[in-house]
């Protein structure tokens, strides 16, 4: 009960304090997981076309800008962290435009007008953003009728911060996934390698679909992706990695 009250009260925070660590750790082109799983999944869901206008919500230091620009799509990234936006401009200025802003309450800007975008996305950012409903309402407002939204996140059914992990069943020789809670909404402080704290939000899967629908966005696809790129040792670990997805992708269309 207490956790739920905290969850409802908390608003998402900028990653400014950890910007240096995050941009260094993930690199200009994104981390191993960005490059091998998350970005390919997002691009598959979005089906971007040349000439389309695309909004990257919670864009961080802009790792999505180069692959989007390469498709001939016009990119605008928005993030709450001025240092990450400065880093994005430093590396990717020829790939798009970058703005400081809160995606739950977007600033007035000529690039962020109602219906200005064909597509929008949250790449590994939606679980750091609260309130969810306000972020999705703003995303829907940016899209034209028929516009597409995609989001990629750590799978909320299996990767719950501090409430899930791997276990070993000695008798069956089985690596299993353990969940300690799922339906409770949680605001979880995360330590960024001693560089500061960020806040992550766990919500059950139904919350995402409910909030999308409430914002006038109809879900059109879902894809769950396992991490087959790691170096799992032994059959039991390989099987577990294949069985329990790391990322969830959702796509939706704005109703006319």
180, 159 Cβ separation under 8 angstroms? no
Block residue for tokens 């032994």: 234
| Under rule CB under 6 A, residue 104 binds ligand SAM | yes
Say which DSSP state 127 is in. Answer: G
CA 105 remoteness from chain centre: 17
| Under rule CB under 6 A, residue 15 binds ligand SAM | yes
In this complex, which beta carbon is closest to ligand SAM, that of residue 80 or of residue 187? 80
| Under rule CB under 6 A, residue 103 binds ligand SAM | yes
| Spatial distance between the Cα atoms of 249 and 139, rounded to a whole number of angstroms | 16
- For the segment 128-187, give every residue that binds ligand SAM (CB under 6 A): 128-129
In this complex, which beta carbon is closest to ligand SAM, that of residue 43 or of residue 124? 124
In this complex, which beta carbon is closest to ligand SAM, that of residue 52 or of residue 102? 102
| Under rule CB under 6 A, residue 248 binds ligand SAM | no
- Pairing between β-strand 97-100 and β-strand 74-79 as defined by DSSP bridges: parallel
| Under rule CB under 6 A, residue 46 binds ligand SAM | no
| Under rule CB under 6 A, residue 52 binds ligand SAM | no
Kindly provide the b/e burial profile for residues 146-169, where b requires at least 16 CB atoms within 10 angstroms of the residue's own CB.
ebbbbbbbbbbebbbeeebeeeee
- For the segment 63-92, give every residue that binds ligand SAM (CB under 6 A): 63, 78-81, 84
Minimum CB separation of residue 36 from ligand SAM in Å reads 13
Mark the segment that binds ligand SAM (CB under 6 A) among 42-50, 118-126, 141-149, 210-218: 118-126
Minimum CB separation of residue 178 from ligand SAM in Å reads 24
For 207-212, the CB contacts below 8 A with 24+ separation are 207/132, 208/126, 208/132, 208/151, 208/156, 208/250, 209/250, 211/132, 211/133, 211/136, 212/136, 212/149, 212/250, 212/252
Q: Tell me the CA distances in angstroms from 44 to 36, 121, 212, 221, 229, one per residue in order.
A: 13, 12, 19, 11, 18
Q: Which two tokens stand for residue 21?
A: 């660590």
Minimum CB separation of residue 175 from ligand SAM in Å reads 27
Applying CB under 6 A, among 7, 55, 96, 102 the residue interacting with ligand SAM is: 102
In this complex, which beta carbon is closest to ligand SAM, that of residue 128 or of residue 240? 128
| Spatial distance between the Cα atoms of 155 and 139, rounded to a whole number of angstroms | 21
Q: Which two tokens stand for residue 74?
A: 């016009």
In this complex, which beta carbon is closest to ligand SAM, that of residue 201 or of residue 244? 201
Applying CB under 6 A, among 48, 58, 141, 211 the residue interacting with ligand SAM is: 58
* Residue of this chain nearest to ligand SAM (CB atom): 60
Q: Which residues bind ligand SAM (CB under 6 A)?
A: 12, 14-15, 26, 58-60, 63, 78-81, 84, 102-104, 123-125, 128-129
């Amino acid at each position: 009960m207490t956790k739920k009250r905290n969850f409802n009260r908390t608003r998402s925070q900028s990653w400014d304090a950890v910007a240096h660590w995050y941009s260094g750790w993930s690199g200009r082109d994104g981390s191993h997981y960005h490059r091998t799983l998350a970005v390919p999944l997002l691009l598959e869901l979005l089906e971007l076309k040349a000439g389309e206008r695309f909004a990257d919500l919670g864009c961080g230091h802009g790792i999505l800008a180069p692959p989007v620009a390469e498709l001939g799509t016009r990119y605008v990234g928005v993030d709450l962290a001025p240092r990450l936006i400065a880093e994005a401009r430093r590396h990717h200025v020829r790939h798009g435009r970058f703005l400081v802003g809160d995606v739950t309450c977007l600033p007035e800007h000529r690039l962020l007008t109602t219906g200005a975008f064909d597509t929008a996305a949250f790449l590994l950012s939606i679980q750091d953003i609260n309130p969810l409903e306000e972020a999705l309402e703003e995303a829907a407002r940016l899209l034209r009728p028929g516009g597409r939204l995609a989001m990629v996140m750590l799978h909320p059914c299996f990767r719950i911060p501090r409430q899930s992990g791997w276990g070993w069943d000695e008798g069956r020789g089985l690596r299993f996934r353990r969940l300690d809670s799922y339906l409770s909404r949680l605001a979880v402080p995360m330590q960024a390698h001693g560089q500061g704290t960020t806040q992550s939000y766990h919500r059950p899967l139904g919350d995402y679909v409910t909030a999308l629908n409430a914002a006038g966005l109809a879900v059109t696809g879902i894809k769950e992706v396992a991490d087959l790129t790691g170096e799992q040792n032994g059959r039991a670990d390989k099987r577990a990695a294949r069985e329990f997805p790391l990322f969830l992708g959702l796509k939706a269309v704005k109703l006319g």
